[in-house]
Amino acid sequence: MLKACLNGGRSRDAHPAVPVTPAELAVDAARCASLGVAAVHVHPRAASGAESLRPKVIADALTAIRAARPGLPVGVSTGAWIEPDPAARVAAVRSWSVLPDFASVNAHEAGAEAVAAALHERGVLVEVGLWTLDAVDAYRSWRVPVGRILVECMAEEVPVAVADAARILAALPSSAPAVPPSSTGVPAGSPSAARARQGAVAPPVLLHAEGPATWAVLAEAVSRGLHTRVGLEDTLLLPDGTPAPGNAALVAAALAAGAR
């Protein structure tokens, strides 16, 4: 699938088309969905413009997007830069009145597994973000079900980012971490519990980069048949290096490059 990442941590100082308000996110999400993206990832903002995990902020953004494009899966970030205290991130997830379809959790951040567990308990699909080989190692010890793996290449140099992608992909476990039945809600003696003890099939992988390596890594994802994403969170430029008018133009370029 192709996911649109609409804003990330960027402000309109970085690009005038960055959507910030719920209404702006809704318009951009609907526009990208009409082009063919399968999901959108957003960073909801408080009135001050700062990223926030507060229930009303999350609810306002999700409600607006779902009204504009019913049925479009919507995800959010739980990055530690939004709320540095792991306990506060867990509390925020547990306080959400409107739930996203999925949420990303960076495995290298303090308290990541607890945040993932809180999401899973609430029925939100967990996307684990893996930026490094150390993050892969951290993920191996998780006891929380994960719905999607995000291999995120943060190096700005294209050859380094592509090499990082290959290394992280090669290091991924061939099955999901085994999950004890008590954490999955299935009876201990059931076939489902046995599968949980043995470890499930590995989750699907979404591969992407940020900055100058965005398009090279997107091409790598396409060539490997992996999910990928694009949007103003990751890059402000089209593949030819010219400024992108907005998220729709980036999505159109990704589709033209073979992303689906």
Find the angle CA(22)-CA(154)-CA(80) to the nearest 5 degrees. 55
Specify the DSSP class assigned to residue 182.
Answer: H
Question: Which residue is it, tokens 């192709």?
Answer: 2
| pLDDT for the residue numbered 1 | 95
The letter for the amino acid at 221 is A
Q: How many Cα atoms within 13 Å fall on the side-chain side of residue 29?
A: 30
Residues 226 and 208: their CA atoms lie apart, in Å, by: 10
The letter for the amino acid at 48 is S
Residues 14 and 223: their CA atoms lie apart, in Å, by: 31
| pLDDT for the residue numbered 253 | 98
Asked if residue 21 lies in contact with residue 44, where contact means CB atoms within 8 angstroms, the answer is no
Single out the residue of 50, 9, 3, 39 nearest to residue 211, CA to CA.
9
| End-to-end Cα spacing for the chain | 5
pTM, 2 dp: 0.91
In a structure prediction context, what are the per-residue pLDDT tens digits for the chain, which is 260 residues long? 999 999 999 999 999 999 999 999 999 999 999 999 999 999 999 999 999 999 999 999 999 999 999 999 999 999 999 999 999 999 999 999 999 999 999 999 999 999 999 999 999 999 999 999 999 999 999 999 999 999 999 999 999 999 999 999 999 998 766 554 343 333 334 333 333 434 568 899 999 999 999 999 999 999 999 999 999 999 999 999 999 999 999 999 999 999 98
Residues 238 and 232: their CA atoms lie apart, in Å, by: 10
| pLDDT for the residue numbered 260 | 85
Each domain of the chain, given as residue ranges in start order, spans 2-256
Q: How many Cα atoms within 13 Å fall on the side-chain side of residue 133?
A: 7
Residues 246 and 251: their CA atoms lie apart, in Å, by: 9
Residues 134 and 203: their CA atoms lie apart, in Å, by: 19
Find the angle CA(75)-CA(78)-CA(83) to the nearest 5 degrees. 145
Single out the residue of 202, 173, 197 nearest to residue 183, CA to CA.
197
| pLDDT for the residue numbered 176 | 67
Question: Any bridge partners for residue 5, and if so which?
Answer: 41
Cβ partners under 8 Å of residue 85, min gap 6: none
CATH topology of domain 2-256: TIM Barrel (3.20.20)
The letter for the amino acid at 88 is A
